[in-house]
Each structure stands twice: as C-alpha cells, then as structure tokens.
Structure 1
Amino acid sequence: MSDDGIPTDELGELAVDRQVGHRRMTLADVARVARVSTATVSRFFSSPDAVSPALQARVETAVRDLHYVPDASARALVTGRTNTLGFVIPTLDVATFALGVQSFQSQLAESNYTSLMANSNYDLAEEARQVRALVARGVDGIVMVGMEHEDGLTKFLDEFEIPFVNTWVYEPDSEYPCVGFDNREAMRRMGRYVLDMGHRDVALIIGGLSDENDRSRGRIEGLRKAMAERGLSLPSDRIIERKYGITEGRDAFRQLMAQESPPTAVICGSDVYAIGAILDCERMGIRVPEDVSVSGFDDLEISRHLNPSLTAVNVPAREMGRLAAEYLLARLADQPAAKRMELDCVLSVRNSVAPPPVRT
C-alpha cells in the first residue's frame, strides 16, 4: 500500500504505462487512484465548487501524480462545447490590445474557459479567414475588434450559432453586440482640449488605414467635428496616415514639420505615434510643449514616464476584455446580457500640451 492507501501494484502499473507511453491516462485512471467515482472527477473539472475540499485534494493529487491532461475533444463530444473562446485582434504590436486579451483570458479562467487568439493585420479578409479557422477549431464564441467586417462574416457566425461581440467600438443603434467606446467622441474630447489651449493650426497622425478601420475613421471625424464647432477645418494635408510604429510616427511628424507653415499641435491616434513625434522633436531641437504640443491616444504606461509626460486619451482596454468575456459567457449559459455596453474614455492630462507659441 502507498501512503495514499492505493495498492502499490496499481500505481506501479500506471507509472510504467506513463513512462513507456503505452496509453494516455484517462479520467477512469484518475478516479481509481483518487478512490472516487468518474462523475466526481468530471465535476472536479467542470464545476469544482460542487466537489468537497477533501475530494478536491484527492483528485488534485491523482491528476498531478498521473500527469493527467483532460481530453478536450472527448468532452466536446459529450457537451457540444470546447470551453474555448476566440479573440481576433488587428495587430500584436498595440499594447492596449494585449491588455484587453489578458483581461479577457483572466475572466475566462474563472469559469474554466480558455482562449485562442489570432491576428488580422488590419485586413478584413484576413480577419474573416481567422474567424472561420477558429470556428473550425471548435470555439464556442468570438470576440472581434471594430464594427465593420467582411461581407457575410456575421451571417456565417449566425448560421453556425456562434455568439460574438465587437469591441473597441460603441454604436448605440447597432444590430450587433458591442462593448467599447465612441471613437468620435473620444477624439472630439481631445480636440476640444487642445483647441481650448488656444491652438488653431492642428494636425493629426492616424493609423490603421481608415478605409478598413472604422476606429481610425471615427477619430478623424471626431477631430473634424471639434474643429468645425470653432469654425475651423482640418485640411487633408494635415492628416497623415501611417502603419503602426514609432518609426512611422517619427516620419509622419517630420513630414508635418517640413510644411511651409507647421502645425502648433500634433494630435496622434496612438501613443506610439506620439512617442515617435517626441523623439524626433528631441533630434530636431524642437521643444515640447513650448514649440509644439503633442498628444496621444491609448495612455500606455510608458507615456506617463516620457519627458514631457504625454497627455493622452485613456482607452479602457482591460474593462473591454473583461466585459467581452462576461457577455459571451452569459450568452453560452443562456443568461441575460446587455447587447451594447458603452465605456467612457477620459483624458489623462499631463505635460505635453500647452498654449501655442506666439508667432511673429
């Protein structure tokens, strides 16, 4: 007999099988070693709160000793669920997307769900391919970024009865579920703040190619609206679109500063562009904010440590990830869930925006 009261020949046989790889440990093996029923082991994995602490300890010990890994495919055949949700993001380079995915995954873990992530590279056709691939792998639900998707994608998800939710956007009249913020209003708020400082000559560095990026398009519209409220316009040569990156931010800023009459404020659609702009200011001998003001959109942790610290729109990435998980879990459990959830974006006011310089 072992210290756990299991016959040594039984444990020895299982150990030999595991070492030579004769067979994969099964739920029945765990039940036999833990001296519980297979139903108890099943509940341990699916509803651990329904198992007493004493039995949990015995099952945990057996799982550890046997190096048991639950067979997800077998469980899916029984339940019709894989307990896996998919998250398709536009890029792996944006830190706020990483924060959202991390929060999403943490929320799922509390309900014994896991996540699969895919990258669309800001390409709607690629997003559709990744969504279809995740559905083929058996995910129970999908999170996407943005409201616009390739034609037929939402119909495809509806036909397969795969619940989904759009994030990083909020449209009160949308027929599809969304959890996020109003990109127009968030950028309008930043625009008003910069204009209140006295700026009238403003430029915008934006990313994601607005023809396939409804978030970027909304931010352009928001800044234009803020300027129109003051009787101002945002000419097309004051809008620089670039792929995401610090180098791209530096290049875009240099392009703006090379214009015959450079702007006094550069509003960036991402903190990364703003970081690039501030770095190039240092290289060019331009003072921020004395000579030019720079603002961001994300409020990354590094932004508060810049010199000067960056004024930025704070994107509630963690909250979006958590609420997206809660929405899908509620749908899968046939529980009521709000179809549209709006989050607020606040301005983190720091030291990179000031009144414009006096020009003579």
Structure 2
Amino acid sequence: MKMAVARTGIKDVARLAGVSVATVSKVFNPSRTTNIRMSESTRRRVLEAAEQLDYTPNYGATLLRGQSSHTIGFSLSLPAEVGAMYMSDYPREILNGLGQAAEAGGYQILLIHGGDYRNYMDIERIDALVILGFRVISNARQAEMIEMFQRFNRRQYPYVVINNSCDALPVPSINLDNRHGVKLIAELIRRKGYSSVGFVGELTSNPQSHLVERENLLREFLAGSGINCDESVFLNGARPGVPDLPRTGLYSHTDGMEAVRLLHRRGTLPRCLVCGNDTIAQGVICAAAQLGIRIPEELAIIGFDDLLYSQFFNPPLTTVHQPYEEFGRLAYEYVIRKLADPDHFAQIEIKPTLMERSTT
C-alpha cells in the first residue's frame, strides 16, 4: 500500500524560518493589506526556508491546484531599477499591445511592481510574467535578479523579458536590434553631411546600459568618416564637468535640457545631437528654443524610440522607431506558447526603422 506523503505547509516554513505563520503569509502574498512589517533579512530567511522545503503555496481559496488564473503579470522593471512605480509612455505602449492580445485570448493583465516577482509565480497568482527590462550599469540587487531568473528557468515558468539581457545566464527575451538602429542614424548623418556630431544620454553616474551601447555604436559607425565626434560633446554617464542629475523615473527631459545649456555655455555645441531616447530629445528641443538655436538650420536633432507624441514635437522629431505594441503582442504569444510547451525557449530580436522628420 502506497503511503501518502504529507505536503509541506506554511507552518513548516514558519518553524524553519523562526517566524510566525502571519509573517510567512505576508511574504508570499505581498499585495495583501496587512500591518505586518518585516526586515529584508527576515523576508530572505522565509524565502530560503521555503526553497529548502520546496514550498509552493496555491493562490487563494478560490483557485484549485493546477487551475489557470487566466492572468498575465506585467512588471514595470527589474529589481531595484525603478524606486517607485513609474509609468512612462514606453511601458504604456507595450502594455497596449500586450493588453489587446491578452483580451483577445481570454486573459487579463495584472500590473505588478516590487522587485522580487517569484512570489506571484510560486503561488500561482499569475500564469505567466512579462518583465520590462531597464538595466542600469550598476544594480545593487543584480545577484537577486539572477537568482530569480535561475528559479524561473529551473521551474520552467512562462516568463519573458523585454529589452534586456542577462550576461550570467540565458533568459527568454524580446530585444531591439540597437546596432541596426544606430546604423540607420549614422547613414542619415553621413547623407546630410553634418560636420560634427554629439550624443546626449543620461547625465548620471549610473546610466542605462542600452544608452551606453547606442553611444558606443555611434562612435563606431562614424569612425573614419571625417565627422568630428569629439569626446567633450558625448554626454552620457559620468564625465568631468558634467552634473550628476537626480533621476525622475528613468527617462528625463532634464538630461537633454542641461546638456544643451552646458554645450552652449562652453561654445562646443555640435552640428547634430543624437539623443539616447525621445524624452531626452524633447528636452534638447526645449532648451534650444529657449536659447534661440534654430532647428535644424543650426542644430539637427535625432531621437530614439518614436514615442506616440514625437511626431507632434515642434518641430517633429527625426527618430528611430521601436514597434512597442508589437513587443507586447510578441510577449503574449511567447508566454502562451511556453504554457503549452514548457521546453520552449526563444530570444527574439526586432529591427527598427528610421522616421525622418523636421529636426534633420
């Protein structure tokens, strides 16, 4: 006669971690309203105990084990990348594509934020997870992020990361081909015959890695062209004499405004400024207007992203187009396939296009 094996319960986790059952419940249901406060060390101790006991609680009394929640989680960032919930135009457009595809497929979207998304998967609160990747150069919780991905991979959870990669291990992802996008910019610059080019990214000691990649690619594609690409007009990350501006979310108009003011004061404003994203470009346009700099006659401006409002800038912005709604649709299609086939794995790369408008 086969003996029944008792399933590990919440009391076992509490006993091993040396905490109350209520504390364990709080850890595994972070969205629940409760007055329980806990330290990071306590939360980690509970998670380690749960991992040791292979404890994976079900979500809610209404969900039977194995029953689908028909919910896809949408996370705004990786752990510690954004200090508070921050919904810029970038995630909104991706969410539009994801939401439309999910609705057509009979799924709902749960917007989540908080860093460690293992809980939502472990307790079956969501069937799949789509994570927006904002990867800064230095992330204090990088090890935790890698550990989270390792757990997802080990348990074959349906998840995908948009616009991010992880050097430590393979993760399913949907990424923009930055190399192709910057190549389109360099070809435009050569065709227009601009004599000098600069780059404006984030004026902070810890910029996003994809902005650093775009800056380096621009130098690479313009090398040997005879176009002046002096280091002093490439403003991204820590530079001598460049202010370290406080972050507001991750995209800041202030970066563009302060960069133009700084270059104007120095008398080193180049003929063309390439911006790491459209929000920075909007700040560049605003500062140029305040300083009486004519666009594009005196200063050409090129952005990156093609957000919905970029065509309505004054003047309309030349920029690299990212199909954000397509990112959302592809993310939905990936996780749905992963639900049906746990062994499915893909890293998708999308080639952008150039939208040439009145700033060049």
Q: Same fold (TM over 0.5)?
A: yes
Shift of 1:256: 2.3
8 Å Cα contact 2:128-2:335 kept in structure 1:
yes
8 Å Cα contact 1:84-1:113 kept in structure 2:
yes
Establish whether residue 84 from structure 1 lines up as the match of residue 91 from structure 2: no
Establish whether residue 161 from structure 1 lines up as the match of residue 148 from structure 2: no
8 Å Cα contact 1:170-1:341 kept in structure 2:
no
Q: Secondary structure at the match of 1:280?
A: helix
Shift of 1:73: 3.6
Asked which structure has the greater RCO (Cα within 8 Å, sep 6+), the reply is 2
| Matching residue within 183, 197, 200 for 1:202 | 197
TM-score, L = length of structure 1: 0.67
TM-score, L = length of structure 2: 0.67
> Residue 126 of structure 2 corresponds to which residue in structure 1?
139
| Matching residue within 326, 340, 343 for 2:333 | 326
1:252-283 per-residue CA deviation (whole Å, 9 max, x = no partner) reads 22122222322111111111111111111111
CA–CA distance in 1 between the matches of 2:170 and 2:295?
44
CA–CA distance in 1 between the matches of 2:311 and 2:226?
33
CA–CA distance in 2 between the matches of 1:106 and 1:249?
33
Amino acid at match of 1:108: A
1:290-335 per-residue CA deviation (whole Å, 9 max, x = no partner) reads 1111111111222212222110111110000000011001111228
Percent identity reads: 25
Rg larger for: 1
Establish whether residue 285 from structure 1 lines up as the match of residue 272 from structure 2: no
Establish whether residue 181 from structure 1 lines up as the match of residue 168 from structure 2: no
Segment drifting more, 72-81 vs 259-268: 72-81
Unpaired runs of 5+ residues, structure 1, are 1-71, 120-125, 354-360
Shift of 1:167: 1.3
> Residue 90 of structure 2 corresponds to which residue in structure 1?
96
CA–CA distance in 1 between the matches of 2:116 and 2:221?
37
Q: Secondary structure at the match of 2:282?
A: helix
Segment drifting more, 91-100 vs 237-246: 237-246
> Residue 63 of structure 1 corresponds to which residue in structure 2?
none
Amino acid at match of 1:268: C
Instruction: Note the 1:1-360 alignment, pairs <5 A.
Output: 73-74=60-61, 76-90=63-77, 92-119=86-113, 129-135=115-121, 138-146=125-133, 150-168=145-163, 175-207=170-202, 213-230=208-225, 233=229, 235=231, 237-241=233-237, 243=247, 244-334=251-341, 339-353=346-360
Aligned length: 274
Segment drifting more, 318-327 vs 194-203: 194-203
Q: 1:142 to 1:278 in 2, by over 3 A?
A: same
8 Å Cα contact 1:238-1:256 kept in structure 2:
no
8 Å Cα contact 1:224-1:234 kept in structure 2:
no
Shift of 1:285: 0.7
Shift of 1:112: 2.0
CA–CA distance in 2 between the matches of 1:294 and 1:185?
19
Unpaired runs of 5+ residues, structure 2, are 1-58, 136-141, 238-244
